[in-house]
Amino acid sequence: VLSRLRFKPTRTNYDYDAIIVGGSIAGPVMAKALSEQNRKVLLLERSLFVKPDRIVGELLQPGGINALKQVNMDGCATSVGMPCEGYMLLDSKGAGVKLPYGAGFQGVSFHFGDFVNNLREHVWYNCSSNVTMLEATVNTVLVESTGLLERAYGVEYSISEDYKVPETPFRRDVSAQPQSTETTTATVRRVATAPLIIMCDGGSSKFKSKYQHYTPAQDYHS
């Protein structure tokens, strides 16, 4: 039975169709998907043009590769990674068991920073008509009451007062002098609105812990 109760939007005019907070992995992919639907998107990332410098490797499973293929972004992984056909388990005596992926499936192993840089660069050069990407820090999620519930309608963010895009964005050399858009220490606060706010700012997000309505279950497999 469908409920006859409908909530009328409190706003009808917005700056964007969606605002994405965070530009690591999920953020750029979500921006590309929405752009292909001709949605206007604002993506905010506090260190947008600097490649993440994490001393770790990443393995993207076949399901992740297939998800990227749906938005034509699988090249962001395969161009910087090594193919993975499955696993090999070894015991203390050296005996091994092969656990290959199924036929036609393949994973990719890569450096995290290279992958993220490629995702951001792909959206920057291929989705500029619909996606605005800014190096900025989100301070607050703006919320308003509809009487029966509260709804998020935008964000307040801080951005450099003389914001400029670097001459060579998404540079590859992390040892070079950082090229940030923040050319001065002075920042200004701005507001952007959208009917949909998507949090892609990591597992330690202060916003996720504040607004989620459940406690994730902890499953231990050891």
Task: Confirm whether 43 is domain-assigned.
Answer: yes
At residue 12, the pLDDT reads 75
Alpha-carbon torsion (38, 156, 29, 79), positive or negative = positive
Q: How far is CA 173 from the centre of its chain?
A: 22
Strand 18-21 vs strand 197-199: parallel, antiparallel, or unpaired? parallel
What is the extent of the structural domain holding 39?
A: 18-87+105-209
Task: Confirm whether 12 is domain-assigned.
Answer: no
At residue 182, the pLDDT reads 46
117 backbone dihedrals φ, ψ, rounded to 5°? -60, -40
Length of the chain equals 222
Task: Confirm whether 95 is domain-assigned.
Answer: no
At residue 6, the pLDDT reads 57
Q: Would you say 77 and 61 are in contact if contact means Cβ atoms under 8 Å apart? A: no
Q: How far apart are CA 144 and CA 11, in angstroms?
A: 10
Task: Confirm whether 179 is domain-assigned.
Answer: yes
Domain of 195: which CATH number?
3.50.50.60
Strand 137-145 vs strand 131-135: parallel, antiparallel, or unpaired? unpaired
Q: What is the pLDDT along the chain (222 residues), one digit of tens a residue?
A: 454 555 555 577 999 999 999 999 999 999 999 999 999 999 999 999 988 887 666 899 999 999 999 999 999 999 999 999 999 999 999 999 999 999 989 999 999 999 999 999 999 999 999 999 999 999 999 999 877 788 899 999 999 999 988 888 887 554 554 455 545 579 999 999 999 999 998 877 888 777 766 676 777 654
Task: Confirm whether 111 is domain-assigned.
Answer: yes
Task: Confirm whether 93 is domain-assigned.
Answer: no
Task: Confirm whether 218 is domain-assigned.
Answer: no
At residue 175, the pLDDT reads 52
Q: How far apart are CA 14 and CA 193, in angstroms?
A: 5
Number of domains the chain contains: 1
At residue 177, the pLDDT reads 46
Task: Confirm whether 166 is domain-assigned.
Answer: yes
DSSP code at position 101 = P
At residue 149, the pLDDT reads 81
